Amino acid sequence: MSKPADGKAVIIGISGPSSSGKTTLARLLQRVFCGVNLKPKDTHLNTFIIHEDDFYFPDDKIPYTTTRTGAKIQDWDTAAAIDIPFLSQALHYVRENGTLPPRLRSKEDQNYQTHSGVSDEVVQKLRDEVDARLRGEAAADSTANPTVSFLEGFLLFAPPGQERHVLRSVSDAIHLRLFLPAPYELVKARREGRNGYVTVGPAPQPPVHTHDTAGAGAGGEGAGGKTRTEVDLDAEDDRPPQNFWVDPPGYVDDIVWPQYVIDHSWLLIAEDGDKEEKGESKDQEKADLVRRVGDGTRARTDVGVEVAPGYGREGMDVVLRWAVELILGYYLDQT
């Protein structure tokens, strides 16, 4: 777990590969925690969700990469596609003010939503438990942190000891880090079953350059992201009109999964045998790492990240209860 909470909000980070259930879990947690009673009497917990997808650069700023077949396509699964300084600034605003910046208007809820698989009865039972424990004698005065924000996204955490890591400012703004592993087969099936994603900004122009996916991801220090001026978070959202992105054929195998493995190589456990040999190309090294990680469900538990039970194969009801217990424990420890 992270350092004790300060400011006016506790930020819970929920990360994992594409289609691992991050958004679903965040929405369920909001249903469980939103508005429950606190001490002193007549104080209620405020909650909201922050979607990392709302911090993508406009369509015409998304970088291009070259696939194994030589095709040039946009890469939405690299740190270079995310406005990381904007995200970091927004998280610090939340911590200091306990509210979502007026500037941030989410487009994520316009995307296709699947059923959570958790019944209303289970959600209500957990909500009743949370309410009782936060009102109980064991809970101290909770007015110091009356807000809990659930931040969900595919690139949120930085490895310990890498102070110059591209995600350091984001990772350090998170109080409790939850990770949802998911096997490759599940990620592929769910991602390819989606009908697309709402995006913002001018339509992309034909590619004028490519980027090295292995070098521009979150796996290396100082990699990825773009420099931008500070955003006025209190202003209205003036981003351009919305567009729609649909994954091209083979996108999961060419981009999504290998980039996820590279960016989380510090967290995922790979087999030690048959490591890459010196002199291999970056593409060969990447393919070797993907092979050694296997289905990608084994994650370390000694790097400040809480890993969901079941290696990505438990039902959402089990994952939800696990998350509720961790958040309750953290919140009560800080109040």
CATH number at residue 263: 3.40.50.300
Q: What pLDDT is recorded for position 204? A: 73
Assess if residue 223 is contained within a domain. Answer: no
Rounded CA gap, 84 and 247, in Å?
A: 23
Amino acid at 17: P
pTM of the model: 0.87
Phi, psi (degrees; rounded to nearest 5) at 242: -95, 150
Assess if residue 96 is contained within a domain. Answer: yes
The parent domain of residue 317 ranges over: 9-203+240-333
Summarised one tens digit per residue, pLDDT across range 81-123 is: 999 999 999 999 999 999 888 877 665 554 445 678 899 999 9
Rounded CA gap, 182 and 17, in Å?
A: 7
**Strand, coil or helix: 288:** helix
Instruction: Name every residue whose Cβ is closer than 8 Å to that of residue 11 and which is 6 or more positions away in sequence.
Output: 50, 91, 94, 95, 148, 149, 151, 173, 174, 175, 176
Q: What pLDDT is recorded for position 223? A: 47
- Residue 301 region by backbone torsions, left for phi larger than 0, else alpha for psi between -120 and 50, else beta: alpha
Tokens of 28: 């369920």
Assess if residue 42 is contained within a domain. Answer: yes
Q: What pLDDT is recorded for position 214? A: 44
CA distances from 220 to 112, 158, 165, 214, 261 (A): 32, 10, 6, 9, 13
Assess if residue 326 is contained within a domain. Answer: yes
Assess if residue 278 is contained within a domain. Answer: yes
Q: What pLDDT is recorded for position 91? A: 96
Q: What pLDDT is recorded for position 224? A: 46
Residue 40, preceding bond cis, omega within 30 degrees?
Answer: yes
- Nearest Cα to Cα of residue 167 among 176, 175, 177, 157: 157
Summarised one tens digit per residue, pLDDT across range 32-78 is: 999 998 877 778 899 999 999 999 999 999 999 988 888 899 999 99
Assess if residue 168 is contained within a domain. Answer: yes
Instruction: Name every residue whose Cβ is closer than 8 Å to that of residue 206 and which is 6 or more positions away in sequence.
Output: none
Number of domains in the chain: 1
Rounded CA gap, 26 and 317, in Å?
A: 13
Residues of the chain with confidence (pLDDT) below 70: 1-6, 105-114, 137-145, 205-229, 234-242, 273-279, 335
- Is residue 14 a contact partner of residue 152, using CB atoms and an 8 Å limit? yes
Assess if residue 235 is contained within a domain. Answer: no
- Nearest Cα to Cα of residue 36 among 136, 171, 156, 179: 136
Assess if residue 3 is contained within a domain. Answer: no
> Position of tokens 């913002």?
200
